[in-house]
Amino acid sequence: MASAPSTFPPLLASPLARNSVPLRSLPSFRADVIVVGSGVAGLATAISAADDGAHVMVLSKGRIEQTNTNQAQGGIAAAVGNDDSPQQHADDTRRLGYGLSDGKIVDAFTSAAPEAIEWLIESGMQFDYDDNQSLDLGREAGHGVARILHSAGTATGREMQRTLIARAKSHPRIDVYHATSAVELLKDAEGAVRGLIAMSNIRSATDFDTVVFEAPALVLATGGGGQLFRETTNPQLATADGLAMALRAGADLRDLEFVQFHPTTLYLAGAARFLISEVIRGAGAKLLDKNGIAFLEECHPDAELAPRDVVSRAIYRRMIATHARFVSLDMSSLSSPSIRFPALAKICREFGIDIETETIPVRPAVHYLVGGIKSNLHGQTSIQGLFAVGECASTGFHGANRMGSNSLLEGLVHGRICGKNISKYATSERRWLSPVLEKVKPQIDAELNLNDMTYSLKSLMWSEVGIQRSAAGLEEAHELLKDWESYLSRLAPFTPQGIEVLNMVQVAQAIARCAAYRTESRGAHYRDDYPQSSEDWKVHTCVRADAQQFVITSEANKWAAPKTA
């Protein structure tokens, strides 16, 4: 394992370089706390901080419900069953982290899970119950017992989003700004983050204004970056904006090479990559290859309930071996699947598939960014005033591979912890940005096809930084991304789409380089040329922008071992 820093020179240009408006002339909005993102992590943070007396502004890139949380079909994991305990939940989580889980974080989050579920129920969230009026708990890959709570089968995320939105909108100290795209973080003279530049349609439904939001504490809860890849379960707004802003601000990012693929998404031309939850395989559905052969038992002892990275690679390899574009999900052994899984039955029916009698074409797709902005138990990043929670953060909870249904839990618990901490921080740090800000460079007008750039990026990342990687492919990806960023940073328009594409290209560079730096296979990162895990690589990769370069180093995992009594 290399111990010396590894550098490479991206431009890391700021989108502000294309804004011709003097920053000091922009409208400014002030609060105690700014939360960027309206999924479970963002709203849990906002509600918790507001409950403790802080004035919070929540910035939503689209409508408040347009989040990964709203689309989550799995469930939320918590040790609430009679045969379960937070310690068992923690042990399973660490096992699936492949040596990179932070034991202190894992213990804290799993211990807080049962109380967080009670908080959701008290807030009005409707969970599924069995015939005995007990919580109906399911089991997913990696979990030793049934501990997954669901709402209406596969609508857990939507119900959680509804519950949190209702609390946020009714809170007297929370203001929500829709259709507001964060552009760049702003720092004070001491280098602390004190706000951001954003583009918002506050005054017009069609025209975007450039505005400043200021606060002593700023929380990034911007979700993941699935749209960097051709095949993804993520919504269109998941373009890694928070990671890009943090990179340009000089924050530490960690473990970006760990990109988790969900094994089963609906694969039909013209259809959205509808996620087919693991709960269906947990109920007995089987994956069949082109020839109708069930193949997972030969790949892993847990077969259909093997970890997601194992199942995804098994599907990918079987597709190659049988020259197929997909494998099939067979639900014929399940009783009344249309009744048990109505959302899946409905979407399949619209495309002419009867799940009672026909198999469903599926293939893997990018689902979750395991790495992200390095943050601690209280959400604090490496930059004063900047906090990160949820999928855009790297707390060490997931290690090298996320266990199913732990993401909603992390967002909920970490958001609540961060909110309580941040309310005290914000009210003691009321310093505002200086009104004297430099005028930025004028915009350059040129023809640039952003749709073509986006398609090229997604195809490149899928083929070279996807399920299986190699040094040659990662180097090719980096060289192309570096060239694209060099002219994109000069020519992309100062519009929400232009900023999104720049963010995606810059974060894609960091992912590709981190994947090249880790010369082993571990968890959600697999190298054809280094197919084995190495004890020397039981470390985190850290990347930051320093003097117009990315610097990659390794960091020991201080909390790898379980906490002792």
Residue 484 CA, distance from chain mean position? 24
Q: Which two tokens stand for residue 242?
A: 């928070």
Structural element, H or E, at residue 406: helix 406-428
Reduced to 3 states, what is the DSSP secondary structure of residue 161? helix
Catalytic: which of 248, 281, 308, 522?
308
Instruction: Find residue 29's DSSP bridge partners.
Output: 213
Lookup result for tokens 């990034």: 220
Question: Are 554 and 539 contacting, i.e. CB atoms less than 8 angstroms apart?
Answer: yes
Q: What angle do CA 355, 360, 366 make, to 5 degrees?
A: 130
- Identify residue 47 by its one-letter amino acid code: I
Reduced to 3 states, what is the DSSP secondary structure of residue 173? coil
Burial 303-335 (b: 16+ CB within 10 A, else e): bbbbbbbbbbbbbbebbeeeebebbbbbbeebe
Question: Are 481 and 516 contacting, i.e. CB atoms less than 8 angstroms apart?
Answer: no
Helices 406-428 and 103-122 cross at an angle (nearest 10°) of 90
Q: Distance between terminal CA atoms of the chain?
A: 33
162: annotated active-site residue: no
Q: What angle do CA 108, 109, 113 make, to 5 degrees?
A: 120
**DSSP count for the chain of H helices, then E strands:** 14, 22
Question: Are 143 and 281 contacting, i.e. CB atoms less than 8 angstroms apart?
Answer: no
How far is 383 from 362, CA to CA, in rounded Å?
42
Give the 3-state DSSP-derived string for 226-254, with helices as H, strands as E and coil as C.
Answer: HHHCCCECCCCCCCCHHHHHHHHHCCCEE
Q: Which residues have a Cβ under 8 Å from the Cβ of 108 and sit 6 or more positions away?
A: 377, 413, 417
Question: Are 437 and 14 contacting, i.e. CB atoms less than 8 angstroms apart?
Answer: no
How far is 138 from 253, CA to CA, in rounded Å?
34
CA nearest to 393, candidates 252, 187, 561: 252
How far is 497 from 212, CA to CA, in rounded Å?
19
**How many angstroms separate the most distant Cα atoms in the chain?**
68
Q: Which parts of 289-374 are beta strand (E)?
A: 327-330, 360-369, 372-374
Question: Are 405 and 238 contacting, i.e. CB atoms less than 8 angstroms apart?
Answer: no
Question: Are 41 and 65 contacting, i.e. CB atoms less than 8 angstroms apart?
Answer: no
Residues involved in catalysis: 308
